[in-house]
Amino acid sequence: MSTVIEQKREVRYHVIKDYSAEVSGESDEEIAEKLRSDPAVRALRYSIVSTCDHPGRGSIFCGCTNSAQDLLVEFDLKSGAFRSCNYAGIGTEHEAKIHRGLWLDEGENALYFATSTLSGIAATHNTPGAPIVRYDIDKDEFEVLAHPRRGEYIQGTNYDPVRKLIYFYSIPSYAFGVYDLKKRKVRHNIVVESIPHVAAIDDDGGAWGTYSHRHAFFRYDPEADAFDFFHGRCAMPTAVEGANIMYTGAGPVDCMLNAGDGFLYVGTALGELYRLDPRTQEIDYLGKPHYERRIQGLALGPDGTIYGAGGRRDTFLFRYDRKTNAFRVISDLTAADGRRCQYPHNLLIVNGKAYVGETDNRTRSGYLWEITL
């Protein structure tokens, strides 16, 4: 493994609405609590915590954190303008973000997602919990499909368009669930004691997650409707060390990517990259591209290169060459005016550019960052 630091690229940012706080905090939850009575926070403060490109529309849909429930916006790649999809029209009080899971079904021209919260258990325990939602893009309409469990909010989702299944990972119980769109019912919703930031589906349709205090991997087989916990033997060597970094109770998996070569690639909260073979459960350490923690986003480039975004203070974008096992890193994501991306949360590669959603900015709204590759 080798790492090369590349020269700085052109970095720009796009703003939904801008807000700068007189107080600062380490997370959106902390800032929301401090500024709970400030109406400007509800109206103006955004983070971008999910992204999904729509090739047919030439746009990127952004799942946001916003205390006024404006959780879904569309960014036009040509004009640079944002359009609210008006989720606030159906959102409820404690829904505050579309966190790590926004999925386009091109055949239906619809998005699937679920929502999470910034509120604590005392406020949410007696609520209906998070909805699983379908957004009909042509009709510009939302449909609530289910509330899987009272008081539970959904931190991450994966979508299987072939089998019409939505997988979800929820808090505060740290559960894994399966929602069957064809039958309009929850097939499973089980406590696993560990959840990934975002997981992945392998080439055979198996959904992956982590479980127990060891944060080992499990696989759900939708065809057999069965779980395989591999007797706890399928785990990254730094799994326990990498847990509880993103937030208390979180597992070590920051991001997972099916890269189309039969493997799943795993970015950890420690900033490491692993490769998982779903059929043999073999896990290979590929390297740590940067000294910072976190790899919050992974994406596949058009040339087959794997890209990743991470860090908190010295934020970075990297690419990994699967043939040579080499990393190339663009460090310090700073625009020409000196503003910098403080905390990446997700990554898309579209038309030769990387788009990074920003979250948990200490003093201002999070932006959509654009880096020319």
pLDDT class for 124, splitting at 50, 70, 90? very high
Query: Which residue type is seen at 101?
Result: G
CA-to-CA distance for 335 and 357, rounded, in angstroms?
14
Residue with tokens 């990387």: 354
pLDDT class for 272, splitting at 50, 70, 90? very high
Q: Check whether 22 has a pLDDT greater than 90.
A: no
The residues near 238 (Cβ < 8 Å, ≥ 6 apart) are 252, 268, 270, 272
Find the CATH number of the domain harbouring 169: 2.130.10.10
362 domain-assigned: no
- 314-371 per-position pLDDT tens digit: 899 999 999 999 999 988 899 999 999 999 999 999 999 999 999 998 889 999 999 9
DSSP summary character for residue 43: H
CA-to-CA distance for 264 and 348, rounded, in angstroms?
17
CB 231 within 8 A of CB 221: no
What residues form DSSP beta bridges with 210? 217
300 domain-assigned: yes
- pTM of the entire structure? 0.95
268 domain-assigned: yes
Of the candidates 169, 188, 190, 171, the one whose C-alpha atom is nearest the C-alpha of residue 180 is 188
What is the residue range of 82's domain?
Answer: 23-307
CA-to-CA distance for 320 and 289, rounded, in angstroms?
9
Interval 1-12 mean pLDDT: 77
Rg (CA), the chain: 19
CB count within 10 Å of CB 39 equals 10
285 domain-assigned: yes
Q: Check whether 5 has a pLDDT greater than 70.
A: no
CA-to-CA distance for 285 and 42, rounded, in angstroms?
42
348 domain-assigned: no
Q: Check whether 204 has a pLDDT greater than 80.
A: yes
pLDDT at position 218 is: 98
Q: What is the dihedral of CA 94, 368, 136, 88, to 10 degrees?
A: 30
Provide the domain count of the chain. Answer: 1
341 domain-assigned: no
CB 187 within 8 A of CB 180: yes
User: Mean pLDDT in the chain?
Assistant: 94
CA-to-CA distance for 71 and 202, rounded, in angstroms?
29
154 domain-assigned: yes
CB count within 10 Å of CB 77 equals 18
222 domain-assigned: yes
Q: Check whether 38 has a pLDDT greater than 90.
A: no
